[in-house]
Structure 1
Amino acid sequence: MKLTSLQNRLSRSLLAGWLVWSLAILGSLWWVIDHEIEELLDETLVESAEIIAGLLAYDAAALRLDDSDTRALPAAEHSERLIWQITNLAGRIALRSHRAPDTPLALPTTSGLSYDASHRWRVFSLRLPGAPDLVLHVGQETAEREEAAVEAARYAAATALCIGILVMLWTRLRLRRELAPLDAFSAAIRDYDPLARDYRLPPASHAELQPVRDAIEGLATRLAQRVENERAFSAHAAHALRTPLAGLDAQLAVAQREAPAIIQPRLAQARQAAGRLQRVVTALLALFRSGSDLHPQRFRMSDLAASLGFSGLQLQVEGAEWLDGDPDLIAAALMNLIDNSARHHATIVRLHVADSPEAAITIADDGSGIEPGHISRLNEALSTRDYAGHTGLGLMLADMVARIHGGRLEILTPDAGCTVTLHLGPPANRAPVPAAGL
């Protein structure tokens, strides 16, 4: 299941909130600007009409209608934002601006703001002072008024949109920076080994992370204590079993010499089982001594192989003569791996030693081997350290020894028999590192 990203959810929430906020602000701006522009333009009409009426009042008699044609005010051709007409009460035009319609606007004769019958013009009507039978109409096209409102709203909306985008980008940047400590804390937790005595989680960088750090430290302390108890129990149990097993093997050896020939095979099998158990106990003692810390030294591989004590198997050592590592832990791993070879009917086990570019011991036998389909599952379990239900005790112990040395255990796919490589890593990686608990 894909987990939801907190940063993505917050970003989406901020984006949705920003969109709603922007639409609300834009709607409000549109309404306010439209209202204010409309009011401003109306005031412009009223003031223009009052100015024109005041100027014309000085010679209102000259505007008396006669039988002549409608007159237009002489003026050069120009862009006229406002048009005006002077009509009598009957609706005839006495004078008009050059762009004003030459037909009277269908308007009331009373003073005030209104639209003409076609709704094309917004007009302010005013009785001329000194000429009560004449009416001044000052108008502006409705389309031009609407265009002015739209332009004002568009510029305001574009400005608000740019500001909103900048705020959104700044918010995302701040959000990313505020969440950066979570990534750093996650990296510290990923590298945190509760069993490492010289490593602790770094101090919390924010107050919200302090409870999480305290909880992880508490959990790590309990886990480390439990692992230490299991190690101590395993070491004590192995030590307690070692002496009785040695005595049992001695008694079986005496019994085998004195027993009739008919039961000799059974006693031999019992001695083999007791020897196998002794090797497991020895491996446990080596692995769990003093917290499983690494004690590296240089040793001869042939001497180590001779000390393993396998009867009935031919051990052949090849490759490098000397090796750097913990001989006790490596011996414990080899005992378990060679014991697996013996249980799978091997008669010859070859130990190939390499010391560069990394130290490694390859154990190859002529036994019955492992099914190829099972090898990939075993390697996956070893890679993820998912031992339970997938690997036996021998492979698990050998992999733990390899990891203590900074390497890993790998099962190869040979043409015959079984081949396992105990990678010990380069010498720089072989520092005292606690092993994982059982």
Structure 2
Amino acid sequence: MKTPTSIRSRLSTSVVLIALVWSVAVTAAVWTVVRHEIDELQDSALDESAQIIFGLLSRHLQRTPLSDEQTTMPAPTHVEHLIWQVVDMNGRSVMRSHDAPERPLLDTRTPGLSNAGDAWRVVTMEIPGAENLVLHVAQDAGERREIGFEAAQYTAQFALGISLICVLWLRWRLKRELIPVAELSDAVRTFDPLDQRAALPAVTRVELEPMHHAITALSGRLIQRIANEKAFSAHAAHALRTPLAGLDAQLAVALRESPAELRPRLLRTRAAANRLQRVVTALLALFRSGSEPVMQSFCMHDLVTHLTFDGLTTTTDGVDCIRADPDLIAAALMNLLDNATRHHADSARITVREENGIIMRVSDNGSGIPPAKRAMLQQAISAQTYSEHTGLGLMLADLVARAHGGTLTLCDEAAGCSIELSLPYGSVDSGHS
């Protein structure tokens, strides 16, 4: 069976993906806008710088005529991020800054902004005068791209950082919001619809109200169905018990008055009727086992004396006077002893000891249970998967033990069969000890 996925992990993954997509989208949008604005700002700064250089060179050229040799403006040695050239009408650079190339940056003399390939962003300005000179002021295009890249990098880092903070916060909020779901699951896991004192806690989220109402309605339908089945079974068992008691009485009379050749058949018939009566009694106890046990003081010896089985000798040992539900205990013992007779036992011992309540052990010398089958039966009893695994006897005995807050255990025995019922709700009757 495929393992179901986690809502929390799916939502967390979605939040992370949304945050990443949002970061990339914001970075792309901001970078596009910033690059456009940075380009405009750099073009404006380049143009302003060109205006200043233009003014200074114009005054210099008015005072100092050009020579035939290339000259550079005097300045300290430094790395120039902005270069300039003065080019004559023949396309020869007659004056330039230190890092400017000797070749003209542009072959054209069109004033304004333009690109010199991928290397330079250039502003061209005409210098008035008879020499027909033009001024090229250029900025390194690689540096401009680096500035745009750094702006995009910082934007992406801040966007991813904010996204990471948002993801962590959303994961924390998601964990907090899923707590009511886990609490409701825990409450449903321990909720017993048959316990009248049990109730699901009120939900703290609107989204959980439909689930709460559905579970409550399902519990109501389950209680009603169980009540109907119990009522039907109880009525049916009561309706059968009276005729069976009459049948047993008539068979007893028939045994006394019948000829010898009919007695074996009548004995088998009476034994079958007695077994049917025990089954009916067990059914009555079975459909009472969902309710609280009726605790009373009684003596095990007296109770066992009335549980007679042909060919089976039953003895009691240990604590005699205890407090428990005598009807449920009698029904459980009756079915366990009946199982012993059907597995060829001729003696059984019922031992009671005090240990966290009381422990009742039923041992017989019958054919026993093979280890593999015993393990299978114990697993079915522990999981309460009685259908197609256990008979009525073990099922009823386990339900009786559970009604007393305990469990049923199939003991490992080399010969025969031993079954222990732990009854934490039971106790030793100190008034008769």
TM exceeding 0.5: yes
Indicate if the aligned counterparts of 2:20 and 2:163 stay in contact, CA closer than 8 A.
Answer: no
Aligned partner of residue 292 in structure 1, secondary structure: coil
Task: Note the alpha carbon deviations across 1:237-288, whole angstroms, 9 max, x for none.
Answer: 2222222222222222232333333333332222222222222222333444
- SS class of match (2:330): helix
Shift of 1:399: 1.3
User: Which residue type is aligned with residue 214 of structure 1?
Assistant: H
Shift of 1:164: 0.9
The one-letter amino acid of 2:300's match is: M
SS in 2 for 1:114: strand
The 5 Å alignment of 1:36-55 reads 36-55=37-56
Moved more, 120-129 or 57-66: 57-66
| Equivalent residues of 1:245, 1:278 under 8 A apart | yes
1:109 pairs with 2:104: no
Query: Which one-letter code corresponds to 2:25 in the other structure?
Result: A
Deviation string, structure 1 residues 56-79 (Cα, Å, up to 9, x no partner): 2223234643233x2222222233
**Letter matched to residue 65 of structure 1:** L
1:254 equivalent in structure 2: 253
Aligned length: 426
Is the Cα contact below 8 Å between 2:362 and 2:420 reproduced in 1? yes
Contact (CA 8 Å) 1:252, 1:271: kept in 2 or not?
A: yes
Match of 1:435 in 2: none
Moved more, 286-295 or 348-357: 286-295
Equivalences for residues 259-298 of structure 1 within 5 A: 259-288=258-287, 292-298=291-297
**One-letter code of the match for 2:36?**
H
- Matching of residues 113-128 of structure 1 within 5 Å: 113-117=113-117, 119-128=118-127
Given that 2:20 and 2:160 are in contact with CA atoms closer than 8 Å, whether structure 1 keeps it comes out as: no
Distance in 2 (CA, whole Å) between partners of 1:17 and 1:414 is 64
Please tell me whether residue 94 in structure 1 is matched to residue 63 in structure 2: no
Is 2:354 the counterpart of 1:355? Answer: yes
Q: Secondary structure at the match of 1:194?
A: coil
Tell me how far apart the structure 2 counterparts of residues 321 and 78 of structure 1 sit (CA, whole Å).
111
- The separation in 2 between residues aligned to 1:107 and 1:423, in whole angstroms, is 106
Q: Structure 2 unaligned segments of length 5 or more: list them.
A: 428-433
Q: How does 1:74-93 map to 2 (within 5 A)?
A: 74-93=74-93
For residues 322 and 49 of structure 1, the distance between their equivalents in structure 2, rounded to whole angstroms, comes to 115
Distance 1:278 1:427, change over 3 A: closer
User: Which residue pairs with 1:364 in the alignment?
Assistant: 363
**Greater displacement, 153-162 / 211-220:** 211-220
In structure 2, relative to structure 1, the CA distance for the partners of 1:138 and 1:252 (3 Å cut) is same
Quote the offset at 1:324 in angstroms.
Answer: 3.7
| TM value normalised by structure 1 | 0.89
- TM-score (normalised: structure 2): 0.90
| Aligned sequence identity (%) | 51
Distance 2:372 2:241 in 1: 37
Q: Which runs of 5+ in 1 are unaligned?
A: 429-438
Cα 1:389/1:85, change in 2 over 3 Å: same
Q: Tell me the residue number matched to 1:303.
A: 302
Residues 64 and 365 of structure 1: CA distance in aligned 2, closer, same or farther (over 3 Å)? farther
Q: Which deviations, in whole Å up to 9, do the C-alpha atoms of 1:213-258 show, x marking residues without a partner?
A: 2222222112111211221222222222222222222222232333
1:71 aligns with 71
1:130 Cα offset (Å) = 5.2
Conserved 8 A contact 2:83-2:97: yes
1:336 shift after superposition: 1.0
CA contact (8 A) 2:320 2:352 kept: yes
Inter-CA distance 231–221: structure 2 relative to 1 (3 Å threshold): same
* Structure 2 counterpart of 1:409: 408
For 2:46 and 2:107, the matched residues in 1 are separated by: 15
Query: How far apart, in 2, do the equivalents of 1:366 and 1:159 lie?
Result: 82
How far apart are 1:291 and its partner, in Å? 6.6
| Alpha-carbon distance in structure 1 between the residues aligned to 2:86 and 2:161 | 48
- Give deviations 1:85-108, integer Å, cap 9, x for gaps: 222222222322222224332442
> Which 10-residue stretch deviates more, 264-273 or 219-228?
264-273
Q: How far apart are 1:162 and its partner, in Å?
A: 0.6
CA distance in 2, matches of 1:171, 1:102: 61
Deviates more, 1:383-392 or 1:395-404: 383-392
Query: In structure 2, what is the Cα distance between the partners aligned to 1:417 and 1:139?
Result: 107
Q: Which segment is superposed worse, 43-52 or 362-371?
A: 362-371
C-alpha displacement at 1:298, in angstroms? 4.2
Query: Does structure 2 conserve the Cα–Cα contact (< 8 Å) formed by 1:63 and 1:95?
Result: no
Q: Is the 8 A contact 2:322 2:426 kept in 1?
A: no
Q: Say if 2:298 and 2:321, in contact at 8 Å, map to a contact too.
A: yes
Aligned to 1:432: none
